[in-house]
Amino acid sequence: MSKLYFFLVLCFVSLSSVAQLNVDSLSHINYQQLHGADLNDVWGYEDEQGNEYAIVGTSKGTSIVDISNPSSPVEVFWYPGTESIWRDPCVYGDYAYVTTEAHDGLLIIDLTPLPQSTNLPVVTYNGPAGQTWSSAHTCFCDSQGFAYIFGANRGNGGVIILNLNADPMQPIEVGAFDNWYCHDGYVRNAIHTCEEIIWSPAIIPMAS
């Protein structure tokens, strides 16, 4: 993932900071010029042929950039969205999941056509009937095929757990923790962690 790390640095670190870190700038994409957009977050994906991509969350949509040649990154896909300062991607298998604090729901992008085609199928998910939500602060996908949605505009904004295994384009909600708001989180070694709590096997307060 070294190419992705370089791309992340190029997206979020100013030129003066890069110089201080003794990192040379190989290339960059000007998102203001391309889409009039600012950047929020980035994730990585590798296709079946070993090509590497950056999934970039911007203020005006989601960008997929081929960074196989880090000296010449190329945007290969753009999906516009409602303007928001927060757009957060994650990847499970060959699918990208993108949350935003705009009311666009969970964007799901099928990456399997890459690299032969950049015509990528897209759907949005808003939760089951009677339990819908339209915005969320962030998301995380674990290696077991579960996506965790943090800070959604439903209930207290806790954690919504989605099963992606049956059909990654049509998640199934299988659980939720909504005792209080959870800003962000990740899963490691079957331990579910967020800025407010750790649960399973015990609930332990954490500093935010």
| CATH number assigned to the domain comprising residue 114 | 2.120.10
Report CA-CA distances (Å) from 165 to 94, 162, 172. Answer: 12, 9, 9
The residue range of the domain holding 197 is 2-205
Domains identified in the chain, total number? 1
Report CA-CA distances (Å) from 28 to 6, 67, 86. Answer: 10, 10, 21
User: Which pLDDT does position 5 carry in this prediction?
Assistant: 43
pLDDT along the chain (208 residues), means of 10: 46 46 79 95 95 97 96 96 96 97 97 97 96 95 93 94 96 92 78 47 37
